[in-house]
Amino acid sequence: MKIELPAPAKVNLNLHVTGRRQDGYHELITRMQKLDLCDRVELELTESGDIELSCDSQEVGPDRSNLAVRAARRFFQIHEQSGPHGLRIKLDKQIPVAAGLGGGSSDGAAVLKGLNELFGFPFSEAELMDCGRGLGADVAFFLSDHPAVLATGIGDCLQEVATVDQYHYLLVNPGVRVATRWVYDNYRLTKKSDKFIFAGSLNTEQQEFAPAALHNDLEAVTTARHPIIARVKELLMETGAAGALMSGSGPTVFGLFEDTRRLEAAALLLTRKFADKAEYRVITAKAFGGA
């Protein structure tokens, strides 16, 4: 039996760190939006008893720590089934690795959803989310059917919000890999008494989003090590973006463009600017499931 699923990327339209828990995880308020930039995850059940991973990207090796493999192992641990079972996972990577776009978490969520379908839906969405706990804070979002959410807790308490599909997205990844844990370990919490209420982040489908709501507490941490992030933001604004922000722990920066003409012109300009830097990627995208 075989199945193929999309694993979409995400951007954080805003992200505020509100505290740190005793287990080391940080409490967040963040608005996340899925994009139509997707990995493709193909799953095939086997009787080998092994979990095999192949990927077209050299950045992703057949490592037991890979989130797709860990997700499959977790599913098989909690799913009661007699007889040998195995899985062949094939990843077509389109989302840059360690880029703040949630690619690994999305791949893991796709594996959980795909296995659940292949075995006849033994688990509800809530039960799959319990299964995914510990794999990654963004896994819950990718397991949900919501294209956009306001996430609290460690990112696993979700409230659906209106999808931000009135803008086109231009992503620039400068090719440096950023470890999420390092960014959070180097983030210094303050004792501000802010209410952490962001424009466009309330739990209502009618709530509109505006570029003025773009904010990311982690941006200063990653930019201090990789100043190119600030320069990419400047370039996006200079080429016509209504707003620009680093996503997640970075280093990918995205710009919001109001029409395709400006988007295409900016994408062409930035592609030419970074033509001599093979590690850079300039990607256009739309909201996942959007117009």
- In sequence order, what are the beta bridge partners of 255? 170, 244
The phi, psi pair for 17, rounded to 5°, reads -85, 120
How many Cα atoms within 13 Å fall on the side-chain side of residue 133?
12
Of 10, 34, 113, 233, which one is the catalytic site residue?
10
128-134 long-range CB contacts below 8 Å, 24 or more apart? 129/156, 131/74, 131/75, 131/78, 132/71, 132/74, 132/108
End-to-end Cα separation, the chain, in angstroms = 33
Of 39, 138, 156, 217, which one is the catalytic site residue?
138
- Is 286 assigned a catalytic role? no
- Is 10 assigned a catalytic role? yes
Sequence-ordered alpha helix ranges (H) in 8-147 = 67-78, 103-118, 125-132, 139-143
DSSP assignment of 202-218: SS-TT----GGG-EETT
Would you name the residues annotated as active-site residues? 10, 138
